[in-house]
Amino acid sequence: MRRIRDVLHPKLSTPTVLILCLAIMMLSDSCARHRAALSDKQAEEGDREAAGVLSERSRALDKLRDAVEEQIAAAERVRLEDESRIRSAPPYFYKRFELYPADAEEPEIRLKETESSLKPYEADVSVRKARFTTRYHTSRSACARDKEFIRDIGTQTDTYVYENREWNLLYSYFEAEKTSVLRGDEWVDVTGNVERVAQYEAESFFGRVSGFFRAVF
């Protein structure tokens, strides 16, 4: 006690020293409780923030799953329309429709966080798919008559970005693993390259081009 009194002030009485010591102890205890409360509050805020991030991530993932499921269902709904719809890729015309095998595995979703607060997530979605395409024609009417499709089975990978709480498709890539042609009622696998351009039209088209250059030069 004497050493404490000497540190505080040599002329302080013992009762005064005791009161000061008690006050210091109470103040220290109050500071400790305040620090503990502040730490608990920060931890709670951190937990709420982490829960908010997880909740937003969960909502984004659910939305993406719903979008992929709708894409698969839509392909079946528009099959007949797509089967007869003529598309163009100048100078060619072709028809195409797509199907997702019923026995295919669930789509593989790879979600990753970005450093952007406006676009916090990106995702790659891979799904098995069968794509049916006619040969490419230089004549629209010839394409309309073509009922023979080439079947490619492979994996489609779609890349999405999450912006304004909505998923937007950036680009798609289809990698064919197996190609088949219909012979009678049976699909027969084809090895090597498959002629994708209608042969007689390809000859006619390139023949016209060749004839044009011969006439000019």
Looking at the fold, whether 56 and 43 belong to one and the same domain comes out as: no
Please give the model's pTM, rounded to 2 decimal places: 0.65
**Can you give the pLDDT of all 217 residues of the chain as single tens digits?**
555 445 445 554 566 656 656 666 776 666 666 666 666 555 555 555 544 456 889 999 999 999 999 988 998 888 888 899 999 999 999 999 999 987 778 899 999 999 998 999 999 999 999 999 999 999 999 999 999 999 999 999 999 999 999 999 999 999 999 999 999 899 999 988 889 999 865 545 555 444 444 434 4
Looking at the fold, whether 13 and 90 belong to one and the same domain comes out as: no
Looking at the fold, whether 169 and 101 belong to one and the same domain comes out as: yes
* CA gap 142, 158 in Å, rounded: 32
Detail the DSSP E strand segments found in the chain: 86-89, 92-99, 108-113, 121-133, 150-163, 166-183, 186-190
Looking at the fold, whether 139 and 37 belong to one and the same domain comes out as: no
Looking at the fold, whether 131 and 151 belong to one and the same domain comes out as: yes
| Domains: count for the chain | 2
Q: How many helices (H) and strands (E) does the chain have?
A: 5, 7
Q: Which residue range forms the structural domain that includes residue 208? A: 50-216
Looking at the fold, whether 183 and 104 belong to one and the same domain comes out as: yes
Beta bridge partners of 111: 123
CB neighbours (10 Å) of residue 25? 10
Residue 137 three-state SS = strand
Looking at the fold, whether 144 and 75 belong to one and the same domain comes out as: yes
Looking at the fold, whether 108 and 21 belong to one and the same domain comes out as: no
Place of tokens 């000061």: 20
* CA gap 79, 216 in Å, rounded: 46
Q: What is the pLDDT of residue 16?
A: 62
CB 167 within 8 A of CB 123: yes
Looking at the fold, whether 73 and 28 belong to one and the same domain comes out as: no
* CA gap 183, 202 in Å, rounded: 23
Please report how many Cα atoms fall inside a 13 Å half-sphere around the Cα of residue 173, on the Cβ side.
7
* CA gap 134, 119 in Å, rounded: 39
* CA gap 129, 72 in Å, rounded: 9
Q: What is the pLDDT of residue 27?
A: 65
Q: Which of 184, 207, 126 is nearest to 160 (CA)?
A: 126
Q: What is the pLDDT of residue 97?
A: 94
Alpha helices in 78-149 (DSSP H): 79-84, 140-145
